[in-house]
Amino acid sequence: MIKKKLLLLGITVPMLLLSADVAAQHPHDGHYRPDTTALKRTQRLGEVVVRGKYVDRVNKSAYNAVAIDTRKLRNTNLDLAHALDRVAGIKIREEGGVGSAVQLNLNGFTGQHVKVFIDGMPMDNSNTSFGLNNIPAGFASQLQVYKGVVPVDFGGDAIGGVINIVTDHSPRTYVDASYSYGSFNTHRSNIALGWTGKRGFVVRFNAYQNYSDNDYKVKTQWTDLSNSTISNEEGWFRRFHDRYHNEAAVLRQGSVDEAKGGIGAGKMGTRIYQLVNGKLIEKGKNIVTNFGNVGVFGNYSYGALNSDMGVNYFTAAGAMTSWTAPDLTKFAVDDKAPVISDILDLGNNRLAITLYYSNRDSAAVVFSDYSFSTVNAPVFDSRIGGIYGAWRSARYAMGGVADDGTAYVFCGTSADGSKVGALRIKKSATSFDPDYKFDIYTASEGYRFRKAYPISGSKFLLEFYVDKDAYSNMSTSGKLAIADMDTKTLTWVTGVPDAADMANYSIGYGDGYDGYFYLPINPAEASSQGGGGGSWHHAKATRATSSAVPTIYRINAATGVATAFMTLDKNESVKVISIVKK
């Protein structure tokens, strides 16, 4: 996978010195009638045909989504706004020439109801340099359009839908440049550079600029300056005060696993190692096409995304076989296929595969044997919402198996507070226990949560959102509590950084053992790469200004009291802890 740093530089230079507007837009008076039919010449390509495995996967996902392969539009004079204008349900309206305001209408929704992202990064506060009508089509490799319900990666406030601009992440070295000239002295240029070193270091650079005199003619009334009278007649006049110039650049750098012989650039999954004579020997790897969950059960390891799951099996001698299973598209509800959110090992050749449906707010699980030769139909329970946890592109399992074999599943982000809670599946049962529900929303006095970690016995560590009523996948989390699943009680954790200050920390992935949970918490980094905690990218401080050091906390599951178990150097980070248990 590419681990990247993203730097966005946007410069908008108005040529009208007397204007205070960022982009020197047109005056909106009663005499202004722009003739937009002759503003610029564009190449009509007709309907864009979608190709490619990943593009097809978006189009066939559980969401109402369309993906456009924009690579075929490179070296044309199209911008992203006009590329989107060819998608059913999208209407683009411009108010004038190059640099003018653009309004995007997605199935009747406009303005703040439709969100735009670049590689999952929200562009709400960007300037006009990153407007859809300013970005050339060659800037993106794919456009993803989600209508209505959107993946949790993009938050919960885009009720109309989301446009996600996906840039080129391929591990190759390339140079691509284009230039076009058009009417009204319009110049548009774009350059894209990519370099990948032998050790996996990657640099990607994109830059573009737009310039136009915008001196087209408009038909309007005119004013006699000698006597300040407005003519009753209309005449054609050439605009002289609407020059526009903007520049933008995007720089990304990071590393690629493929250069190290790993999983591969831009790919997700797990590596499998075997301990031989004190040394770790790589035996194989699971690869999925995008973000998902990974884990183990029995002698199997898995990497799961939607219905695409890679499974590896190890014999007692260490030999490994691999296959992909199971096909869950047959369990689609109203043509929406489920997403695999977790796989719980129930023992005795039994699995509970928890599912998430984007079109229904209820728990869902299917039961299977280890080889997936028998997969039962889904069992639904509407007492809690979907079994799913996320922060941006990260996915979190929301379940676990207690020491007595009872499985617990959680919903922490339902909009309906009465569905924020947990259910259980008794040992050997094939359905949810109808007599058990833990109302976590009430027990926490109105908080929601995004993570649930098993500790030991029947206790779990829950990571709550810092603010009440927050449940967006981009909201800050870090308020911790011990959940006792037997007594249905919560104990708030003390001894860790204060929840109100969690935006300055990142929470890693911990592990539980023998009544304690070991949790890594790191001070904020200046960059936003990697990390496991919900607050990682919300960091406000930097290592240079913070006195905090990376710390592994040991949390007592009986009392909720955390103590510093281990501290590290200020320049180090701990992201994952896994305890080897015999």
Task: Report the candidate in 1, 577, 578 with the shortest Cα–Cα distance to residue 289.
Answer: 1
Query: How deeply is 328 buried, as exposed, middle or buried, from its count of CB atoms within 10 A (0-12, 13-18, 19+)?
Result: buried
Structure tokens at 451: 């993570």
Task: Name every residue whose Cβ is closer than 8 Å to that of residue 514 and which is 6 or more positions away in sequence.
Answer: 456
- Fold for the domain defined by 3-255: Ferric Hydroxamate Uptake Protein; Chain A, domain 1 (2.170.130)
- Strands (DSSP E) found in 85-138: 90-94, 102-106, 114-118, 121-122
Q: What is the pLDDT of residue 465?
A: 93
Residues in the chain predicted with pLDDT less than 70, given as ranges, are: 1-63, 75, 125, 152-153, 155-157, 170-171, 198-200, 254-275, 280, 284-293, 304-310, 312-318, 323-325, 393-394, 525-547, 581-582
- Bridge partners of 366, per DSSP, are 353
Q: How far apart are CA 72 and CA 66, in angstroms?
A: 16
pLDDT tens digits, 424-437 = 999 999 999 999 99
- Give me the DSSP letters along 68-95: EEGGGGTTSS-BHHHHHTTSTTEEEEES
pLDDT tens digits, 336-353 = 888 888 889 998 899 999
H/E run at residue 190: strand 186-196
- Bridge partners of 188, per DSSP, are 180, 210
Q: How far apart are CA 134 and CA 101, in angstroms?
A: 10
Q: How far apart are CA 48 and CA 86, in angstroms?
A: 7
Q: Three-state SS for 257?
A: helix
Q: What is the pLDDT of residue 537?
A: 36
Tallying the residues shown for the chain, one arrives at 582
Query: pTM of the entire structure?
Result: 0.56
Q: What is the pLDDT of residue 38?
A: 33
Residues of the chain with CATH 2.170.130.10: 3-255
Q: Which residue has the tokens 């392969």?
A: 69
C-beta of residue 250 within 8 angstroms of C-beta of residue 15 = no
Q: What is the pLDDT of residue 505?
A: 87
The CA-based dihedral angle spanning residues 217, 222, 226, 227, taken in that order and rounded to the nearest 10 degrees: -170
